[in-house]
Amino acid sequence: MRRLRKSSLSPGASNFIAGGVSSFAFWSGSFAFDSVKARIMADDFVKPRYSSYGDVVRQIYAEGGVRAFYRGLTPCLLRAAPVNASALFVWETAMRWMNAPQVR
């Protein structure tokens, strides 16, 4: 966001773009872990399909290798980019309206 602020973009536009880009960085790094967590959460409580976190990892890997951990990443990014971009834009705009101190 600091680099974007130095450009000719308005503060709102730079906040929006920074929020969208940050969502790509976040989800690209954490999506595999989220895939494992989602399977654990969706597992049956009475008759669990998985015995441990490692068991989930092994089964996902057996289904399709590393790519299996990232199944569904594209729709996630398409959803997350505008949501996070809007959230950062609203946050920063509200902070500017309240004259909150900025971190440089």
What digits encode the pLDDT tens for the residues 25-79? 999 999 999 999 999 999 999 999 999 999 999 999 999 999 999 999 999 999 9
Q: What is the pLDDT of residue 103?
A: 63
CA–CA separation, 84 vs 76, rounded Å?
Answer: 12
User: Is the CB of residue 92 less than 8 Å from the CB of residue 11?
Assistant: yes
Q: What is the pLDDT of residue 100?
A: 79
Q: What is the pLDDT of residue 10?
A: 84
Residue 102 lies in a domain: no
CA–CA separation, 75 vs 45, rounded Å?
Answer: 28
DSSP H or E stretch at residue 1: none
Q: What is the pLDDT of residue 69?
A: 96
> Can you give the pTM of this predicted structure?
0.73
Residue 93 lies in a domain: yes
Residue 104 lies in a domain: no
How many independent structural domains does the chain possess?
Answer: 1
User: Is the CB of residue 20 less than 8 Å from the CB of residue 81?
Assistant: yes
Q: Which domain holds residue 86?
A: 2-97
Residue 56 lies in a domain: yes
User: What number of helices (H) and strands (E) belong to the chain?
Assistant: 4, 0
Q: What is the pLDDT of residue 14?
A: 85
